[in-house]
Structure 1
């Protein structure tokens, strides 16, 4: 599916990370890529992150109750007909049709894309007024949802006392829309919003984007640096001079101590290689996508000769950093240094979720080696189903 009534340049200039935007009738042909029963089935599986939020009148000041999956199938039969919603994270990892929803939004760099969360809500269901720290496109599927947006929020915004949910204590709507199938609402980071299902069978597909915090970058980057540091790399002062007051920490000592830290943190090349690996680490790194059997070179050459289509694993993350003489490809936290034909192949692979294998790739040993390694990680596969 492709977006219609949508100008990318205008959106990036006037709306991205600035203000909400409702895009009506945004697809050239919309149909729900997932059935509610299939979503409920995913929520019952181990390893799939899911939540169920119900609302009760027992406590009017705190009506939202959160449960974490996996759920027993019988749980859904016990739900009321109103005021509940099921949310399943990273559905794009398991359903190719959901992963395809990301493609029209690839004007945002790969490393910024997080996942597609899918929600199903009964009449009146929602998660309450809140704000997120990331950009999100909210695609309305079946049913209808009333969206309200408010002002900008931050860490100082007052929240309701709740053990599980971060809900705004005060929410004043500044705009309101009813979203119908195929409509999209873009909400920037920090903007208060509240969505409530209007009627039953309300499906919403949320494409979220990552924005690392400064504290997160510093913390993980420093942890990585510490792992390679030696204990004998210490402060030294062989030209020590007698001070008038032994209690003083002199400026030259502070300069040297500060330099010991900053010269490591300021290594941009090292940071770039670290960030490529860090940002491409899968959302759920403990999930093993590796094939049961490694790809033998003769089998690979047969696939290449037949021109089979190559698919990226929707759960995998692909990005690259360009240098004058090579491409550093990052896939699922691994780094691959590519030159020549393998560099061209790496760029093509990052740009396309699926690609037909050209004969020039079949003639390149470097490309074949790269394909074999990525296949072994479970990051790519061939169609149809890797069969002869």
Structure 2
């Protein structure tokens, strides 16, 4: 249903994480995957992360109000924008749209953010530290993008996401189906010209802080990493730490980061987590017999929106990482496990094959129990 018209290999070779670019009619005959009133309804839910940004003082200031929201009448007919995060978690009909971007790996995928904006609405000039594709739905928006470099935060406030105005290298209007790609570090700003729906597909990689924090937590939780620094070299001074000793201590950390037995579990758990809450399917646990009956009746096994099911290449153990947890499977089932990480739903022979594997059948029952997967009728 949603087919990107861009040359994906050329994009990955020449544009990805290198430069911003507009792609005209990236989606031909684009149809909004969600309506404005449905988006507004999602923002009324407490579990859903949402915010309204009101443009003030002739476009010089912005006020942020966090959801949930009961009504929108007070905001008028212009100069505000509603943003709803992780729409793919809560609105299953958006999944076909998300699938169009799975030529990039799932571990990078952050979420689908959808915005409804009135004329004059926007969030101000800012810089994101992740890759983002902005697809224009209904309406028209003007986008400006600046070059990467040193940019001052607005008003000298180091905690503000806003920056001072910048000189644009892109200044253009997006029409329905057009797409703007922005790599990390490039300042940008959207100006709404008419009532508009926009879709932001974000891709994020872990920071040094996140990696170090996760590594430390893993070492503590597993009670490993007790090796201490040793040295026979001393500095020429009672209060001096020799350069060689400094490097030797840091080498202890480097050894941990180069040994798969220390970093693989940490990475798998970190990369399979989500920043936003998932729409867990609550229900009664399914028995093996009930699963068998459901499959024979033509049921479809689906994963909930936003759930990440990851494999690590050359993992020391046969396991899947799902929502921050590790799940082992028999090595003989590696090919089936890869299908479980690649596909978001199963039916017919593909589901039967998973069910007939002893290790993966046990995993399916556990995933159903956790509410991360669910059974649906074939026509749903």
Q: Fold conserved (TM > 0.5)?
A: yes
| TM-score normalised by L of structure 1 | 0.87
Match of 2:354 among 353, 357, 361: 361
CA shift in 2, pair 1:185/1:17, >3 Å: same
The answer to whether the aligner puts 1:70 opposite 2:68 as a matched pair is yes
Contact 2:281–2:374 (8 Å) recurs in 1: no
CA separation of 1:31 and 1:246: change in aligned 2, threshold 3 A: closer
Work out whether residues 53 and 85 of structure 1, in 8 Å CA contact, stay in contact via their aligned partners in 2. Answer: yes
What secondary structure sits across from 1:292 in the alignment? coil
Q: For 1:133, which of 112, 129, 136 is the aligned residue?
A: 129
TM-score between both structures, scaled by the size of structure 2: 0.89
Question: What is aligned with 1:330?
Answer: 321
Question: 1:248 Cα deviation (Å)?
Answer: 6.0
Q: Which moved more, 1:255-264 or 1:210-219?
A: 255-264
Deviates more, 1:214-223 or 1:355-364: 355-364
Tell me how far apart the structure 1 counterparts of residues 279 and 33 of structure 2 sit (CA, whole Å).
25
Q: Is the 8 A contact 1:66 1:165 kept in 2?
A: no
Partner SS state of residue 78, structure 1: helix
Q: Which runs of 5+ in 1 are unaligned?
A: none
Q: Contact 2:142 / 2:191 at 8 angstroms: preserved in 1? A: yes
**Does the 8 A contact of 2:2 with 2:97 survive in 1?**
no
Among 335, 338, 349, the residue aligned to 1:344: 335
Corresponding residue of 1:101: 97
The question of 1:124 aligning with 2:120 is answered yes
Aligned equivalent of 1:269 = 261
Quick one: structure 1 residues 265 and 222, their matched pair in 2 at CA, closer, same or farther if it must change by over 3 Å? farther
Spell out the pairing of 1:289-308 with structure 2 (5 A cutoff). 289-308=280-299
What does residue range 141-152 of structure 1 map to in structure 2 within 5 Å?
Answer: 141-152=137-148
Is the alpha carbon distance of 1:189 and 1:251 closer, same or farther for their aligned partners in structure 2, counting shifts above 3 Å? closer
User: What is the deviation of 1:128?
Assistant: 1.1
Aligned to 1:112: 108
**Kept after mapping to 1: 8 A contact 2:136/2:175:** yes
Q: What are structure 2's unaligned runs of at least 5 residues?
A: none
CA drift of 1:122 comes to: 0.3
| Secondary structure of the structure 2 residue equivalent to 1:105 | coil
Question: Partner residue of 1:278?
Answer: 270
Residues 362, 229 of structure 1: CA spacing in aligned structure 2 closer, same or farther, 3 A cutoff?
Answer: closer
Aligned mate of 1:313, from 297, 304, 312: 304
Alpha-carbon shift at residue 242 of structure 1 (Å) = 11
Structure 1 residue 247: Cα displacement: 5.3
Whether the 8 Å CA contact 2:21–2:181 is kept in 1: the answer is yes
How far is 1:61 from its partner? 8.0
Q: What does 1:181-330 align with in structure 2 at a 5 Å threshold? A: 181-200=176-195, 202-229=196-223, 233=226, 235=228, 257-258=249-250, 260-284=252-276, 289-323=280-314, 327-330=318-321
Which residue of structure 2 lines up, in the alignment, with residue 21 of structure 1? 21
Cα distance between partner residues in 1 of 2:106 and 2:60:
38
Separation (CA, whole Å) in 1 of partners of 2:334 and 2:199? 34
Report the Cα distance in structure 2 between the residues aligned to 1:128 and 1:204, rounded to whole angstroms: 15
Deviations 1:274-314 (A, max 9, x none): 110111123235x5715321111111111222342221111
Residue by residue, what CA displacement relative to the aligned partner does 1:137-189 show, whole Å, maximum 9, x if unpaired? 11111111111111114xx5201136985222131112222111111111111
How far apart in 2 are the matches of 1:278 and 1:177?
37
Distance 1:339 1:29, change over 3 A: farther
Task: Give the Cα–Cα distance (whole angstroms) in 2 for the partners of residues 350 and 110 of structure 1.
Answer: 9
- SS of corresponding position for 2:365: helix
Q: Kindly indicate whether the alpha-carbon contact (under 8 Å) linking 2:145 and 2:171 is maintained by their aligned counterparts in 1.
A: yes
* Matched residue SS, 2:168: coil
Hey, what does 1:40 align to over in structure 2?
Answer: 40
Structure 1 Cα separation of the partners of residues 229 and 15 of structure 2: 53
Shift of 1:345: 2.2
